[in-house]
Chain A
Amino acid sequence: MQESQQLWLIPIFPLLGFLLNGTLGKRMPKAFINAAAVGSVVLSFLWVVKVLAALGSLEAPHIERYFTWFAAGTFSVGVDFAVDRLTSVMLLVVTGIGSLIHIYAVGYMAHEDGYYRFFAYLNLFMFFMLVLVLGANFLILFIGWEGVGLCSYLLIGFYFLENFATDAGKKAFIVNRVGDFGFSLAMFLIVIHFGTLDFGTVFGKAAAMTPETSAGVITAICLLLLVGATGKSAQVPLYVWLPDAMAGPTPVSALIHAATMVTAGVYMVARSSSLFNLAPIAMETVAIVGLLTAFFAATMGLAQNDIKKVFAYSTVSQLGYMFVGLGVGAYSAGMFHVVTHAFFKALLFLGAGSVIHACHHEQDMRHMGGLRKKIPLTFWTLCCAWVAIAGIPPFSGFHSKDAILLAAHAHAPWMYWVGVVTAGMTAFYVSRAMFMTFFGEYRGHAHPHESPFVMTLPLIVLAILSLGGGQIHIPDWLAPVLGEEHAAHETSLVVISVVAGALGIALAYFMYVVSPGLPDALANRFKTLHTLIYNKYFVDEVYDVSIVTPIAQGSRDLLWKGVDAGFIDGIVNGAGSLARGIGGGLRYLQAGNIRGYATWVAAGAVFLVVAMTVMGGIR
């Protein structure tokens, strides 16, 4: 029996922070709020470090079982936490980046109403995210899964006075629910076939199944899990919520919608890798979904003017990359990208936040420009992220992206090529954003100023991580859990991808620095294409027309007004009216006339006489 590491403390710290801020925050000074919020996350981070240090190399998962959540018959679900190598990576990323972003938010949110509320939600998010990561069975993971969705909902809708924010929050939650629908069904199938939701047991039993019996079931389970993952990790076709989610405060975008929550899908698939390995069809689907997402999101990112939207599509696209990695069997590469992406994307968002902060909540890049000199620290840190995401060696993004691309090539070369094109586009739009924001002349009306130290400190830390994060050999650490990689290291392929990145940067430089009129000209030249991309392929509109409106209209006119009020109540009230009608008719027989009554008496007599003589045989 392993020594208990009190894993429960890891999520409990943020939960306490949430409770403190949630109940008392309103009446407390900011210092208290900061202490509770940041302190709890930092404590949690420290505890993670302590636990991991104590657990050492983690050859076998460390499991702690607390209590039975609920049980029905032989089926029972326990509140169990587990730490293995995969978890350890996620724990560090979540608590580490979480701490940084909390610190950043102290500065960023300083002048917002509902300061305490913000940190309460953020702490709550940390709690759920940690539960998600720590959960030792699917249902505990699902708690976290839903919980982070909730916090995402709350934080996207943080500016609840604005309709677009609350709309976006609602959309995020509901789209995620669609994914959860798949996840739930997957869990049902798992319970039906394995009788439990415990990771270890399920994976063990699945591995023990013969391929003939396992293929169908496990493929179904994996595909349903994938549906869940597409929701949370914003993959095609459920990615639509993520760009809208930028309505939330920027630290939220950084923490939830870039670094941690959206990678939960990747984590979940990686966690279930032993199932996916048994279901090649599901794997292939994962890869294709990822690829589609990566590509299309990148194209959509090309034409966005909102700086956060650009990064949002970038996130979607990068998540697509991760899925490609998962799908082609390179789980550890996918996870690697999760980590590096967490670094540089968090940085990008925080930097963007800093920019926005500087420009007094201006997010449209067309109203920026030339900020390089006004907020240099932000600029330089963002540059670190820029090179990282563009895949410039030897920075972090290069390593992880390369690992994925190589694995993809080993799996199917066409995937590699699509990936390379996407990489080029990625480099292009990030560069475009950088150029539009920091180069040229300032086109806005505010007086940009550098952010305070609490905000720049996290930027610096993340910049360092973005640059050097690639040196952390996460794939090696994860290999025992997620399987070895088989991709050969082909230099030519590496070069091609790097060149694609460089080309993207160059093109962006040419279009936005050298000849700034070109983009508009091109937009006019390829009007249709531009309109399509600019409007994100009208996907939201299509969803609206094909799903939302029919459901709303159908429910109102057909179901409610038609079936409910019309048909069912029609029958009910109709029966009432019929009875009353008959009653009314009967009343008119009762005309008050004695002779009429007597006629009925006589008629009744005739009836009785005939009936009684005939009944029983007329003899």
Chain B
Amino acid sequence: MPTNFWPSAAELHRFMPEIILTLFGTAIMVLEPLTRAKKMLAWLAALALALAIGFALFAMNFPGTAFSGMIVADGFATFFRVLVCGVGLLTILLSLDYLDRENHQQGEYYALLLFSIVGQCVMASANELIMVFIGIEISSIASYVLAGYLRDDPRNNESAIKYFLLGSFATAFLLYGIAWIYGLTGTTNLSEIRAVLGNANFAQSPALVGLAAALLSVGFAFKVSAAPFQMWAPDVYQGAPAPVTAFMTAGPKAAAFAVFLRVFVTAFEPVSDRWVPLVGVVALATMVVGNLAALRQSNIKRLLAYSSIANAGYVLVAVAAHSEVGTQAVMFYLASYAIMNVGAFAVVSHFARKGERFVAIDDFSGLAERQPAMAALLAIFLLSLIGVPLTAGFFGKFYIFRAALDSHLVWLTVAGLLNSAIAAFYYLRILVVMYMHAPGEAAERLEPLSPTLNATIWAAALATLAFGVFPGPLLDLAGRWVLGR
């Protein structure tokens, strides 16, 4: 047993992003009753995220584990830390207008957001099942509250209660799985678990390891909204405030994938024959369910929710590829998906107006005629979601299916590609409505975007295009920081 538990400076550096975020979160909490300039708090939160990104990158100078191996600051963690902080940043920019409009401009919101991101950063860097659990819980509980943030809105309540109950339910399974893996291996440290499982003298029944892995994967599958654990997602995403939905589809989901990959690829590598094929099956089911159900949606938030399920399916295809290329693809895809999805939600959230009145797809009628720029931006995000070349979404899909083919998952690749063709149909519907229908009431009386929102959306759109034309840097980054086996 090591005697000195006081963390070294390097260890603190490895955990610095979380520390920064927590400090700022707490500060915002404290400042909230003291100031009327709530937007200042938002900018403070944004600053915190920017700093966190900086520290996350800085932590790359001190790769390694910290706090008795509880967390690890490696490239993979950094990538996702930066990603979730980035998503958080975008979310804050979206939320400014939204909360103003809903008369809920409060510091708590930003504090919760920061705390949620702390949880996601912990997930990204966790090297211990207990940290995984706590990270997930931090992220989730904050999200539960955020989903129900507008507490007088029944949709928000319902979203929150559903998310909360089902989330806790799934977490119980996850926890049960942790208990089992602890019981079988005597440890919860991921690399130690791997060492134990990989040990030739490992005496425990592989079936029980399977049981543990299955229970764990229930929790993760729920968080990434894989079929058949996806059912919460549409309801929750539809009901939650639009910026929160944007956040949830991008940030927590990315973090959940990160932790999913880390746990399974690191710890359960020795029993990969038990879970890899199943990931393929689940991926297929997820894509099919998400895409087919999305075909009939009339609410754009709900549609994007189903789309996020389907997208989770694509990512799972890359996970099923079970290779470094696959992991790289996951990373690239999640990053690009986060950008385009947040962008899409930004437009949707602005368009919805107070009380999210205009969220039916038909409300977007003729947007292109009244607000061509806004329509064009949304179109870019949608085309990217379809996977049209020269957008980030295309390369995301491309890398995923390349990884799948690389692992000889021909059937899954073909099924996935066909699914992406089906998906085109419902994204096209939005384009159809925007571009090809006569302007409706909602499009007629749309005030222009505020500068921050405008900048946010433009930035997201440019990023979508930039990664669509030059995906190299991002992919290189993902390649350099990919999770080693």
Is chain B a partner of chain A in the same complex? yes
Contacts of B271 in A (CB 8 A): 616
Closest approach, in angstroms, between the C-beta of B329 and any C-beta of chain A?
23
Chain A residues lying within 8 Å of B293, measured Cβ to Cβ, are 583, 586-587, 590
Interface string of B252-292 (1 = CB under 8 A from A): 00000000000000000001011101100100000001011
- Taking CB atoms, residues of chain B closer than 8 Å to A601 are 166, 169-170, 173, 218, 222, 228-229, 231
Q: Does B213 contact A (CB under 8 A)?
A: yes
Specify which chain A residues have a CB less than 8 angstroms from the CB of B234 in the assembled complex: 590
Q: Confirm or deny: B442 has a beta carbon within 8 angstroms of a beta carbon on chain A.
A: no
Q: How far is the CB of A517 from chain B (nearest CB, A)?
A: 76
Please indicate the chain B residues that have their CB under 8 angstroms from the CB of A496 in the complex: none
- A499 CB to closest chain B CB (Å) equals 83
A594 / chain B contacts, CB cutoff of 8 Å: 161-162, 165-166
Bitwise, A586-603 to B at CB < 8 A (1) or not (0) is 110110101011101101
Contact: A613 with B166, CB < 8 Å?
Answer: no
Among B165, B213, B228, B295, contact of A612 (Cβ-Cβ < 8 Å): B213
Whether the Cβ atoms of B231 and A616 lie closer than 8 Å is no
Q: Which of B173, B205, B210, B274 contacts A605 (CB 8 A)?
A: B173
- With A605-B215, A615-B273 in contact, do A592 and B235 touch (Cβ < 8 Å)? yes
Q: Which residue of A lies closest to B231 (CB)?
A: A597
Given A580, A582, A607, A616, which contacts B274 in the complex, CB threshold below 8 Å? A616
- Contact flag A597-B232 (CB < 8 Å), given A583-B292, A608-B217, A609-B214: yes
Minimum CB–CB distance for B264 against chain A, Å: 11
- Interface mask (B302-344 → A, CB under 8 Å = 1, otherwise 0): 0000000000000000000000000000000000000000000
B231–A584 CB distance below 8 A: no
Bound-complex Cα distance A583 to B306 (A): 11
Q: Is the CB of A603 within 8 A of B228?
A: yes
Residues of chain B within 8 A of A590, CB atoms compared: 231, 234-235, 293
**Cα separation A601 to B218 with both chains bound (whole Å):** 8
Do A611 and B214 contact each other (CB < 8 Å), given the known contacts A597-B232, A598-B169?
A: yes
In contact, A589 and B218 (Cβ under 8 angstroms) = no
**Does chain B have a CB within 8 A of A29?**
no
A206 CB to closest chain B CB, in angstroms? 55
Q: Are the CB atoms of B231 and A613 closer together than 8 Å?
A: no
B29 within 8 A of A: no
Task: Please state if A600 and B274 are interface contacts (CB–CB under 8 Å).
Answer: no
Q: Determine how close the nearest CB of chain A comes to the CB of B210; give it in whole angstroms.
A: 4
Docked-complex contact B273 and A613, CB < 8 angstroms: no
Contact indicator B229/A613 (Cβ below 8 Å): no
* Contact flag A613-B173 (CB < 8 Å), given A579-B292, A592-B235: no
Chain B, residue nearest A589 (CB): B231
Q: Which residues of B contact A598 (CB under 8 A)?
A: 165-166, 169
Question: Is B69 located at the chain interface by the 8 A CB criterion?
Answer: no
Smallest Cβ-Cβ distance to B293: which chain A residue? A586
- Report chain A residues within 8 Å CB of B207: 613-614, 618-619
Question: Which residues of B lie under 8 Å from residue A587 when comparing CB positions?
Answer: 293, 296
B209-227 to A contact mask, C-beta < 8 Å, 1/0: 0110111011001100001
Q: When chains A and B are docked, how far (Å) is the Cα of A603 from the Cα of B230? A: 12
Q: How far is the CA of A589 from the CA of B207 in the complex (A)?
A: 32
CB-CB < 8 A to B161: which residues of A?
594
Bound-state CA distance A580–B429 (Å) is: 13
**A604 at the binding interface (Cβ < 8 Å):** yes
Asked whether A73 is an interface residue with its Cβ less than 8 Å from the other chain, the reply is: no
Closest to A575 in B: B422
Report if A56 contacts B (CB, 8 A). no
- In the bound complex, what is the Cα–Cα distance between A26 and B352 (angstroms)? 65
Q: Tell yes or no: B206 within 8 A of A by CB.
A: yes
Query: What separation, in Å, do the CA atoms of A611 and B170 have in the docked complex?
Result: 18
Quick one: given A587-B293, A601-B229, are A612 and B222 in contact (CB under 8 Å)? no
Q: What residue in chain A is nearest B281 (Cβ atoms)? A: A611
**What chain B residues lie within 8 Å of A611 (beta carbons)?**
214, 278, 281
> Which of A580, A589, A597, A611 neighbours the largest number of chain B CB atoms within 10 Å of its CB?
A597
CA of A584 to CA of B294 in the docked complex: distance in angstroms? 9
A224 to B398, CA, bound (A): 55
Which B residues between 379 and 438 are near A, CB-CB below 8 angstroms? 422, 425
Given the contacts A583-B293, A600-B228, A616-B274, A609 and B211 also touching, CB distance less than 8 Å: yes
Q: How far is the CA of A598 from the CA of B221 in the complex (A)?
A: 13
The residue among A584, A603, A609, A614 with the most chain B CB atoms within 10 A of its own CB is A609
Alpha-carbon gap, A613 to B213, bound state (A): 9
B45 to chain A, nearest CB (A): 32
Whole-angstrom CA separation of A608 from B208 in the bound complex: 13
Chain A hits for B205, CB < 8 A: 619
Could you tell me the distance in whole angstroms from the C-beta of A587 to the nearest C-beta in chain B? 6
Q: Which residues, 129 to 172 on B, are CB-close (under 8 Å) to A?
A: 161-162, 165-166, 169-170
Contacts of B232 in A (CB 8 A): 597
Residues of B within 8 A of A586 (CB): 289, 292-293
CB pair A612–B292 under 8 Å, yes or no, is no
Which of the residues B162, B229, B294 comes within 8 Å of A604, measured between beta carbons? B229
* Contact call B210/A612, Cβ cutoff below 8 A: yes
The answer on a CB contact under 8 Å between B169 and A615 is: no
Q: Is B214 a contact of A600 with CB atoms below 8 Å?
A: no
Contacts of A580 in B (CB 8 A): 292, 295-296
B140 CB, nearest partner CB in chain A, Å: 15
B298 CB to nearest chain A CB (Å): 11
Expressed in whole angstroms, the Cα–Cα distance for A607 and B218 within the complex equals 10
Q: Closest residue of chain A to B217, judged by CB?
A: A608
Q: How far is the CA of A613 from the CA of B291 in the complex (A)?
A: 30
CA distance A584 to B278 in the complex (A): 26
The CA of A608 and the CA of B218, in the complex, are separated in Å by: 8
A424 to B169, CA, bound (A): 107
Contacts of A609 in B (CB 8 A): 210-211, 214-215
Q: How far is the CA of A608 from the CA of B229 in the complex (A)?
A: 11
Say how far A23's CB is from chain B's closest CB, in angstroms. Answer: 44
- A583 pairs with B296, CB closer than 8 A: yes
Whether B278 contacts A600 by the Cβ 8 Å rule is no
Give the chain B neighbours of A592 by CB distance below 8 A.
235
List residues of chain B with CB within 8 A of the CB of A616: 206, 210, 271, 273-274
Given known pairs A594-B165, A601-B170, A604-B228, the reply for A613 and B210 (CB within 8 Å) is yes
Q: Which residues of A contact B173 (CB under 8 A)?
A: 601, 605
Contact check: which of A579, A600, A605, A613 meets B295 at CB < 8 Å?
A579
The docked-state distance in angstroms from the alpha carbon of A360 to that of B306 is 80
Please measure, in the bound complex, the distance between the C-alpha atom of A480 and the C-alpha atom of B135, giving whole angstroms: 106
Contact A582 B292 (CB under 8 A): yes
Identify the closest chain B residue to A610 (Cβ): B214
B278: which of A597, A612, A618 is its contact (CB, 8 Å)?
A: A612
Q: Are A608 and B214 in contact (CB under 8 A)?
A: yes
- Docked complex Cα distance between A589 and B162 (Å): 16
Chain B residues, CB < 8 A from A576: 425
A591 to chain B, nearest CB (A): 9
Question: How distant is the Cα of A481 from the Cα of B295 in the complex, in angstroms?
Answer: 77
A601 — nearest CB in chain B belongs to which residue?
B229
A605 touches B218 (CB 8 A): yes
Query: Contact: A612 with B162, CB < 8 Å?
Result: no
CA distance A586 to B207 in the complex (A): 33
Contact A597:B162 (CB < 8 A) given known A586-B289, A604-B218: yes
What is the minimal beta-carbon distance from A608 to any residue of chain B, in angstroms?
Answer: 4
| Complex Cα spacing A594 to B169, Å | 11
The closest CB in chain A to the CB of B170 belongs to: A601
Instruction: Name A residues whose Cβ lies closer than 8 Å to a Cβ of B.
Output: 576, 579-580, 582-584, 586-587, 589-590, 592, 594, 596-598, 600-601, 603-605, 607-609, 611-619
Nearest 5 CB-CB pairings of A with B: A612-B210, A583-B292, A583-B295, A608-B214, A612-B214
- Contacts A601-B166, A615-B210 supplied; 6 other A-B pairs, CB < 8 Å: A579-B422, A590-B293, A608-B218, A612-B274, A615-B278, A619-B206
Q: Would you list 24 pairs from A and B whose C-beta atoms are within 8 A, ordered by A residue? A: A576-B425, A579-B292, A580-B292, A582-B292, A583-B293, A583-B294, A586-B289, A590-B234, A590-B293, A594-B162, A594-B166, A596-B231, A601-B170, A601-B218, A601-B228, A601-B229, A605-B215, A608-B218, A612-B210, A612-B275, A615-B210, A615-B274, A616-B273, A619-B207
